[in-house]
Amino acid sequence: MTEIFPSKRVPIPRNGVDYRGKVVLAPMVRSGELPSRLLALRYGADLVWGPETIDRAMIGTTRRINPRTNTVEFTRLSSNGLKNPALNPDQRESIIYRIHPELERGKLIYQIGTANPETAVQAATLVAGDVAGIDVNAGCPKPFSTSGGMGAALLRTPDKLCSILEALVKEVGQVFEIGISVKIRLLETSEKTEALVRKLVATGITGLTIHCRTTPMRPRERAIRQQLRMIASVCREAGVACVMNGDVEDREQALQLIQEYGVDGAMLATAAEKNPSVFRSKEQGGKLPWFVVSQEYFRMALSVENRWGNTKFLLAQHMMGKDPKYQAMNQGKGYEDCAMALEMHDLREEAANLDEVLGITNRQPRAEKRARAREFTAQMELAPPKKAKQDNVLQILNIPHDAPAVAV
């Protein structure tokens, strides 16, 4: 792509990537997991952002290679489920973040949720060797993020945001030779936005993404683009790449908006969540039918052993709700059921095997788990202390009194 406004540039580190001339996948919780990113890349996305991952969730994880999928997984013992771990013997490690080192090499940007320079550096250091860049989320308006001083809350504490970016540039970007970037939202006035952007581009970052909505705005409200040219100009002046986000529907529109507003790149979110083939160019035939995309997504999810709940959620975004295939998929309990619903009979055996690997076939129904938890609580309230209490636990869990000790 020809650059309209030649300018100075902040140097792109050896292991980093330039955001200029790129049409990219936005960071989306649930919709930015590995199979979604891989499918976006297959359809033509130039770069992909992973879902926002909170710094404290990554700190303490273990990096491992999954020998079946050749993916890199950052895992930790799950804290989900029942408050009484003994009632959940199938408890497994949680995969906090998953990467495909071959297919995502030089294409993946890790987005971090943070409100603290020290924990940001700790978390980013763990993953920096496996990604092409670290992006700070300073735009998420959801309470789970802002209540902890993260996301869009950082727009109200610009000095803290700058300190986070400066720490990441110095202690992660320079060490691992990757770029550091930030994603923000518009402020109430053009003057306030400009003042913020000028501070951010002076921290040593290589890229800035602007979501063309203010913090209170919801996705159904149309994006505001009046400030885009100003933001692009400030970024260009500092040599920082500027990427726009908000109501970008496909690659063709992305390229048109890049030209119209003088930005360096464009980011697709909702449209790509519904149908990632929006990254295909006009010459490639453009967007594909939903059923084709659903089948391709299923193959991708199966190949990387994606969590079934996430796979089901994404298929629900891709498929037509009134279609019988959607109804069959939605009622399915795992990958084998889904393979049949999508008429992918050749994958039925592989899907059934993955159900076994993920523990789906032997999964205890949620209602039964809750009933056992209530029974456990009731028994503990009535039981006498110490030895008798232990005996009650063993009886409820059907564990023999002379059974060997098991670490949980």
User: Sign of the CA dihedral 246, 249, 255, 256?
Assistant: negative
The letter for the amino acid at 338 is: C
Contact 163, 1 (CB under 8 A): no
Alpha-carbon torsion, ordered 269, 275, 278, 280, to 10 deg: 130
Would residue 140 show up in a list of annotated catalytic residues for this protein?
A: yes
- Tell me how long the chain is: 408
CA distance linking residue 309 with residue 243, whole number of Å? 31
Angle between helix 34-42 and 290-303 (nearest 10): 130
**Per the residue annotation, which of 140, 162, 235, 338 is the catalytic one?**
140
Q: Residue 182's beta-bridge partner residues? A: 136, 208
**What six digits make up the tokens of 30?**
């649930």
88: CB partners within 8 A, 6+ apart: 81, 82, 369
Contact 73, 63 (CB under 8 A): yes
Contact 315, 333 (CB under 8 A): no
Q: Residue 76's beta-bridge partner residues? A: 94
CA distance linking residue 269 with residue 273, whole number of Å? 6
Angle between helix 290-303 and 308-318 (nearest 10): 170
367: how many CB neighbours lie within 10 A of its CB?
8
CA distance linking residue 120 with residue 75, whole number of Å? 18
44: CB partners within 8 A, 6+ apart: 23, 251, 279, 280, 281, 284
Task: Give the catalytic positions in this structure.
Answer: 140
